[in-house]
Structure 1
Amino acid sequence: MNAQNNPLDFETVYQSTYLKIMFDTQYRLMERQWEKASTTISQTSFQEEMLQVLSMITKFRPLRVLGNTKDFHFVITPEMQSWADQEVYSQLGKLGVSRMAFVISEDFYAQLSVEQAIEESKKDYEVKYFRSRAEALAWLLE
């Protein structure tokens, strides 16, 4: 990240084969970035990674979350969508999240499954989808 183009100062707080989570203290902004390896993620590993997301949000209490799903290639099944809703997405507002932006996946079916998981969620925070990280960050930091 070029500090000249982006005033954010992200610190990596979690990293695995599939997911990287970063946090900017000044803006209370968390970014979760799915890696290309998500193509091969199992249902169980997906659940474990989503629980890590919840754990990091519980620990750092961001106001804004950027879900960078550009390289996300895992199609979330309807059962997993319900699980993600109940166990993760429905908890975020209670933890202080007010806005969540997604950079959309290049994989149509993976993106559709992400949107379905979010739309089913009983959330009390704003959600928007963007084609670029820069657009998503601009909205989050308004």
Structure 2
Amino acid sequence: MITYADTDYMRIEFDKSLNAMIYRWKSGNHGMSDEEYKTEMRRCIECIKTYRPLTVIAYMVDSNFSIHPALQDWLNKEIIASLFPNGCRYAILVESADFIARLSLEQVFADKTEERVGSVFVSTLEEAYGYAQKFLGESQ
């Protein structure tokens, strides 16, 4: 596992054995500003451009940040739209325990315009790793 970044809000890693980027939100991100959120997500895209993973795993369990509608649009247009051109084919989301945070992320993926990237919602990191392994096997 290669650590790409470790900030106050997020840890980003690349797992070569799964060809997957994993980003983990840390607890205490509720008061994060829109600009701080965008900075963290742009950092994810930079990692994706560097490693070109097949799969992105978003570990949201400790997140309690809600993505409001305008930020949902930005996420769809700027982040999700950048996945496929940079090699990503799957997004696996380990959902937050916070209902509003979980609902706001589900809304982003319900409205996504990039249909070439599949998405799966799971409840544990182990489940996410299982899917990533399955996707890797199917791609070879």
Give TM-score scaled by structure 2 length.
0.91
User: Between the two proteins, what is the percent identity of the paired residues?
Assistant: 26
Alignment of 1:1-142 (within 5 A): 10-123=1-114, 124-142=116-134
Q: Aligned partners of 1:74 and 1:29: how far apart in 2?
A: 23
Q: Provide the secondary structure at the position in 1 that maps to 2:30.
A: helix
Whichever residue aligns with residue 115 of structure 1, its letter is: E
Paired residue secondary structure (2:61):
coil
TM-score w.r.t. the length of structure 1 is 0.90
Tell me, in whole angstroms, the C-alpha distance in 1 between the residues paired with 2:56 and 2:38: 18
Please state how far the C-alpha of 1:111 moved relative to its aligned partner.
0.6
Tell me how far apart the structure 1 counterparts of residues 55 and 4 of structure 2 sit (CA, whole Å). Answer: 16
Mapped to 2, the partners of 1:37 and 1:60 lie a distance apart of 28
> Between Structure 1 and Structure 2, how many residues are aligned?
133
1:38 aligns to what SS in structure 2?
coil
What amino acid maps onto 2:4 in structure 1?
Answer: V
Q: What secondary structure does 2:29 align onto?
A: helix
TM-superposed CA distance for 1:38, in Å, is 1.3
Q: CA deviation at 1:27?
A: 2.5
**Ranges of 4+ aligned residues in structure 1 off by more than 2 Å:** none
Q: CA RMSD in A?
A: 1.0
Structure 2: 5+ residue stretches without partners:
135-140
1-structure distance, mates of 2:15, 2:131 = 16
